[in-house]
Amino acid sequence: MKLLRAGLVALVAFSGLAAAGADEPADQLIQLMAWDTPPNDPAVFREMRACGLTIAGFVPPAALDNCHAAGLKAIVSDVRTSGYDWTNVDAAQARRQVTEVVELVKHHPAVYGYYLRDEPTSALFPGLAKVAEAVKELHPGAWPYINLFPNYADMGQLGAADYDAYLEKFIAECKPTILSYDHYAPFEGGGLREGYFANLEAVRRAGLRHGLPIWNIVLAAAHFNYRESSPADLRFQAYTSLAYGVRGIGYFKYFTSMIGNYRLGPIDQFGHKTRTDAGEVEIGPRVPLWRRSGRLRGAGR
């Protein structure tokens, strides 16, 4: 986990600002999220916060108290916002179900948003829009969490002629409050996926055009042909994201999966810290976003 910590401390230095105090407005901070579903364990949440994360990831309503006690926000994970056949969403039924979960957690201080879907093809946008609309109406300010494909997804996955068209279709139909995508670039053998910077630029451009803050989900756990993260890899992904104006960074994954060749996430398959969690690079405590007069590359909103 120290590698993760080292990267976050570096974010503070890169921003040129002191770490934010407890009274710092949330919209003035760079949010740092574990892209994962953590166990509902107070000790785990405390360690995540000590690592510098600000959002615990995707948690059930029952875990919100422990998130809050550790100083973390969370994306609520509940079938009433995510368990749909997205090609056939009944708007009235969706509203009833969203109402149930929102009434349960709306006033909880740990709620940052509600999980809807990861990497949808554009054919799912109309269904997602119905649930997202209900979330926004019933819990103003909460994020209806939808994370988009990267630009290396093929046309069949995107359901659009190209990546820019995919982004524009999502924004037009789902009317998001945040534009989030993932891109895993560091390959085994030292290479970097072609298109990494083009993806940052495309999302930044769309964010600026529509006044939307942007998030990037980056690689923290090696898998498939992606390499084990070094301090340089974590810093590179963080700094380049910040340079393009991101307001949030998600780390995939914080807890190493038990399946496949996943390895060296900050926490391994057995719940132990790895060198990624314990290295020299801190993801850091709450990291202030440079103020509107000083954003790099004209960061969106």
Do 121 and 86 meet the contact criterion of CB atoms below 8 Å apart? no
Angle between helices 196-210 and 231-243 (to 10 degrees): 30
Q: How far apart, in whole angstroms, are the C-alpha atoms of residue 74 and residue 71? A: 10
Number of neighbours of residue 25 by Cβ within 10 angstroms: 7
The pTM (predicted TM-score) of the whole model is 0.87
pLDDT in tens, 157-171: 999 999 999 999 999
Confidence of residue 5 (pLDDT cuts 50, 70, 90): low
Pick the CATH number of 2-291 from 3.40.50.300, 3.40.50.720, 3.30.450.20, 3.20.20.80: 3.20.20.80
Report whether pLDDT(7) > 60.
Answer: no
The residues spanned by each domain of the chain are 2-291
Q: Which residue has 């810290």 as its token pair?
A: 273
Helices (H), the chain: 2-15, 42-50, 64-69, 79-82, 91-105, 125-138, 155-158, 163-174, 196-210, 231-243, 275-278
pLDDT value of position 1: 54
State mean pLDDT over 54-59.
Answer: 97
Two tokens, residue 169: 């279709």
Q: What is the DSSP string of 157-208?
A: HHTSSSHHHHHHHHHHHH--SSEEEE---BBGGG-B-TTHHHHHHHHHHHHH
